[in-house]
Structure 1
């Protein structure tokens, strides 16, 4: 009897941030994001110099959990999700663990986009969502085999999710998404008139 199996799975973790413990107050988190963005002159200058749409603290602030207790609470919540995802991935971590390497704010205005990229040197990356107004961009995930498909025909419209070349994941406020850091992803243009606010992070193995 013929047999067809799916091999080399790419896993995506999607959950409510509060699933593993007390909820993080997203309204307080949003207020903190705006406050940091308004005060972070180095981050504003970096965004201007690099034509970065909106604001990110990625290149300027490395100590958000120390500056604002709400970010320490956020990391404590994310730690549990990362542990659950690592268990699903059946990682053999030995005597090491996965710990947060960096965490940063993203404020994406109307028309703003984050181009396709990966997160080198990290194990698990992800984002939690603070403000997702109507029209805010979904996360676009790319099949990691895309560059090797060469002469393969396009997939039929409506093909199974596991066979799609791109998958669009639409999170809600208070959701967390996790993926392995080698997975290429992007944020398409924000079609909302209001800012799409998220907090992204990387976890390393040490």
Structure 2
């Protein structure tokens, strides 16, 4: 009798775990997809376990196979081909699945503004994994609530329209210096990623510290060692 009760308990437990698993991996996502579709938010169909990740990987592989046209400056279809394709199919806002986790892609300017403002605290930020947190720190990107408000006020002046206008001349000067340097490499290959890293550092040096990248190179070198 005891064995029979124990077996029944194990069977019930197994059924409970199996039911929960089925709901989490299939029924739950399907119900959510149907509910959002009824509200007008469409997207690629959910696939068991992997969601849309296989489609995303496949699209990226196909996009990379196509030679890059030097005269084409629109890199969005090449870098994020899945979003480019689905925006054409489903509009500016749509639902995708990373595994069994839903993600709503929003590219409509007014909705983006509303989400970023988030005055009611409705849109919660995803907690970054450890290595991402080391890169981002605890600044505006990951902060929430009162801390975010304080950081936003501190940053507001630096990114105000008038402040950005004052930086234009420094940015132009940095670009002119880079282009002048490139003239000496005519007919030779240029490591563009390295050049743009130097350009970014130079712009930061001129706009934030009033000096060129070359003058503050030691500081940037030490920063790179930290990261």
Compare relative contact order (CA 8 Å, sep 6+) and give the higher one, 1 or 2: 1
Same fold, judged at TM 0.5 (above): no
Calculate the TM-score normalised by the size of structure 1. Answer: 0.22
Question: Which structure dedicates a bigger proportion of its chain to helix?
Answer: 2
Question: Which structure dedicates a bigger proportion of its chain to strand?
Answer: 1
Structure number, greater radius of gyration: 2
